[in-house]
Chain A
Amino acid sequence: MKRLLVLLLSAIMVFSLAACSKGAEEKPSGEQTQTGDTKELDYPKRAIEIVVPFGAGGSADSMTRTAANLMGNYIDKPINVINKAGGGGVDGMVYVAQAPADGYTILQITPSHSIAEALERPNASLTGDFEPIANFQKDIQVFGVSKDSKFKTIDELLEYAKANPGELKIGGTSPGGLDDYMANGFAEAAGVEITYVPYNSAAETKAAVLGGEIDIYQDKVLSFNTMVKSGEVRPLVVLHNERLTMVEELKDTPCTVEKGINFTQGSWRGFAVKKGTPQEIKDYLEEVIEKVYNSKEYRAIADKEMSDIIPGYVGQKEYGEMWKSEVAKFKEILVK
């Protein structure tokens, strides 16, 4: 009896180990289904997995969960969202690149992936290993200062920065990431020099600007706006080609283009599949995502979360071109 139990439990242990490496083992069976593909679209036959290469609770994760939830209205198979964080988005990318190109494993992507490619990180080639489905959300970056700051307008700030190169500090998350790019790209376009200080999280950056450790605070519209509403932060400039008149708190904030600073950039979040996925499957997924994007349910959520201030949907073809231009831009600023 006791022996039997021991056996049983060691079997459980072995299975739990095996379950962990499931991704690798599934490969051959997946390929089989692909070769047996007929002309009529026989997809999806089983659950679809969307891999978020970032931690749970972040903006990429919540976007994907919202979208996956609504995709359920159009696809009668389950859609599972899993997080594979690590390596600045590369770990999840590698995982999807190792799965079969059958459309059952979708990668959620952000500028981090184009940046990883621009920096030539190993195993990270977005344009080389993946094909676009669609973009879903676009974000705008806003720069501001603490309410106690001596700078009232962007002109005052730039004037000071010109007189004292490198003295002003701007915070952000992740070195060599999107925030770094935006800080440096803005400074270059404005002809000034500012020092970039990377923090571990947006919360730390906020605390640093309110505590006076750094001078300039940058964030996405949504999280920036909460700080403006509470009166802690004064917005100075929006990195966009027109004023955000639809946002109450930011309607009087100038944008970079009107100030003669030719630099606009924001984050974006979309979906991709492994290169070699059949065109019909890609078209099908693109169509579903477009339906979700235009659905009443998503409109309601987007209005509430202000996640669709500028139209975020980009179709397959344009999205692929966007990848290429993003990678080229990042290469220019980040690789010196």
Chain B
Amino acid sequence: MEAIIQSLSIVFGPMSLILIVIATAFGMICGALPGLGPSMAIILLLPFTYEMDPIVGIIVLVAVNVGAQAGGSISAILLRVPGTSSAIATTFDGYPMALQGKAGRALGLAMTASAFGSIFSALAMLVCAPLLAKVALRFQSAEYFALSLLGLSCISSLGSKNQVKALLSACLGLLLSTVGLDAINGVERFTFGQSFLYSGIDYIPVMIGAYAIAEVYVNISEKCSGKPEVSHVEKNASFEFIKIKDVIKNWWVYLKSSIIGTVVGIIPAAGGSIAAFIAYSEAVRSSKTPEKFGTGIEEGIIAPEASNNGAVGGSMVPTLTLGIPGSPTAAIIMAAFMLHGLTPGPLLLSQQPEMLYSIFIGIIVSSLLMLVLGKYISIEFSKILKLPYPLLAVLIMVLGVVGAYSLRNSFTDVLILFAFSFVGYFFNKFKYSTSAFVLGLILGEIAENSMRKQLIVNDGSWMGFITRPISLVVIIISLMAFFGPMIKQHKENKSNKIIAE
């Protein structure tokens, strides 16, 4: 109890409150700009925390992370440019919803879901961190593989109109994920002796190219062909607060996605982007109207946003209890602990219980702040939309190029960006699925490596995937999620035929 009061006084001190406000806003802005993800935002702020009280310093960094995960949705919704990799799934329904003239509502939903997700994960962290840490260790290679399979199973729901083309796109993504040095034996694959292909094709430039730049091409070709403008994001998008009534209506989606996010966040190898995909595919699977996903449906924004922010609190669990960072971002936060001479782990929790409480309160405060700040920051961002389209197009291209370049400070990534912008454009044109392609590219690597690792540790036996309970359950769920939409469509086709006859 004493520790709680002490941590309350730390978090609600005037200086630390101001710092949390600044950190959250800074995180949101960095999140919204592609190329400046949560990790970069934290690295930029890290030097400023050296002189702070250790607890305040850590809270500031956690607040940046909370803000950045949510900020990624702003550009995803308004420009179809996912600001962070965990906001890719948000573009599926966020951008179509903005095209319908409901950008403000989409932003409101994203912020509310993000806040819900982080508050939920903070609660989970506080109540059962040691227990959750045990759960985290149950996830080994077999479970990683099962989880990536679950993420991939969402392919069949992404391409509900043309599943064959969606499958083909995903296979292409999987194929490209094998380019580079193979992570098990170090063998070169498809590198053609080019050293820039050694580290493989990074999904961030691919993603920015195939979504954002391709969208620019689509708009330009529409304008040049003199077609009447089909649809556009409204120019005066204003942030819409979501009523509690509406939250309650969709409470199950909020809660389920936050749980998925928290659990996936705890696992060291998987982060917010995989959490978002899994939550999205689960929302599609359990929906009564799965065919509406991808057209701008509310659940399609809530699920990925609640779960990618759920991963924030989740990733802090193994960091604090075991000293194992749950995500690359958490690894940097852990480095901050070390700089202050603190060693995360069970010892720290028993010696300094106020640390856990302060982080918990810090996440809640910054999540609530996010709702308020979200209004102002997204209004500022939506001003960009008032620009005439040629200017907006140039701006998107610049943001895209900078985002791709800053990833590794390499011009190769800019070339990859442009190469895949054409892929994205033609995928759109011929109704292949860009999302399935990107999904294959992101998850292919984890799926392949974890499967091969499991085979190594099990001396070549495949039984591990079935005999480990968590792996078995997740594999069954993913098979259901994969074949469900296909069987349903098959049945519908049949009944349609009968009616036609």
Which residues of A pack against B, CB within 8 Å?
2, 5-6, 9-10, 12-13, 16-17, 20-21, 23, 56-57, 62, 82-88, 90-91, 94, 119, 121-124, 167, 169, 174-177, 180, 195, 197-201, 203-204, 206-208, 210-214, 226-227, 229-232, 304-305
Contacts and interface: CB of A to CB of B under 8 A. Distances in A.
Interface in B250-272: 267-269
Nearest to B390: A6
B409 A232 contact: no
Nearest to A334: B186
Contact of B193 (A56, A122, A167): A122
B347 A229 contact: yes
A50 B338 CA distance: 24
Given A12-B394, A56-B39, A84-B409, A304 B341 contact: yes
B405 A91 contact: no
Interface stretch (B93-101, B135-143, B224-232, B482-490): B135-143
Nearest to B186: A176
A122 to B, nearest CB: 6
Nearest to A177: B186
Given A91-B195, A211-B138, A86 B408 contact: yes
Contacts of A23: 411
Interface of B: 39-40, 43, 136-141, 181-186, 193-196, 198-199, 267-269, 318, 322-326, 328, 331-332, 335, 338, 341, 343-347, 388, 390-391, 394-395, 397-398, 401-402, 405, 408-411, 414, 449, 453, 456-457, 459
A196 to B, nearest CB: 9
B184 A10 contact: no
Contacts of A214: 457
Contacts of A5: 391
B268 A174 contact: no
A230 B395 CA distance: 50
Contacts of B141: 208, 213
A189 B331 CA distance: 34
A268 B388 CA distance: 54
Given A6-B394, A57-B335, A210-B324, 12 more contacts: A20-B414, A169-B457, A180-B186, A197-B453, A201-B331, A204-B269, A207-B137, A207-B140, A226-B323, A226-B338, A231-B347, A232-B345
A147 B411 CA distance: 47
Contacts of A17: 401, 414
Contacts of B398: 9, 12-13, 16
Contacts of A20: 401, 405, 411, 414
Nearest to A305: B338
Contact of B453 (A121, A199, A231, A305): A199
Given A10-B394, A84-B409, A211-B137, A230 B343 contact: yes
Contacts of A91: 195-196, 198-199, 408, 410
Contact of B347 (A9, A90, A200, A230): A230
Given A16-B402, A85-B408, A169-B457, A198 B322 contact: no
A229 B456 contact: no
6 contacts: A9-B390, A20-B411, A86-B199, A91-B199, A199-B453, A227-B323
B198 A175 contact: no
A5 B449 CA distance: 49
Contacts of A9: 390-391, 394-395, 398
Nearest to B346: A230
Contacts of A211: 137-140
A94 B414 CA distance: 17
A216 to B, nearest CB: 12
Q: Would you list the 10 A-B pairs with minimal beta carbon distance, nearest first? A: A230-B345, A176-B186, A87-B198, A175-B186, A211-B137, A86-B199, A9-B394, A213-B140, A203-B268, A206-B324
Given A169-B456, A230-B345, A230-B346, A57 B43 contact: yes
A197 B401 contact: no
Nearest to B182: A175
Given A174-B186, A211-B140, A88 B323 contact: no
A167 B460 CA distance: 12
A88 B409 contact: no
Nearest to A86: B199
Contacts of A167: 459
Nearest to A213: B140
Given A210-B322, A229-B347, A195 B268 contact: no
A185 to B, nearest CB: 16
A326 B449 CA distance: 29
Contacts of A12: 394, 398
Contacts of A124: 195
Contacts of A13: 394, 397-398, 401
A97 B148 CA distance: 39
A176 B184 CA distance: 9
A200 to B, nearest CB: 7
Given A207-B318, A230-B322, A88 B39 contact: no
A206 B136 CA distance: 12
B186 A90 contact: no
A180 B335 CA distance: 25
Given A87-B198, A175-B182, A232 B323 contact: yes
Given A84-B409, A86-B199, A122-B195, A197 B456 contact: yes
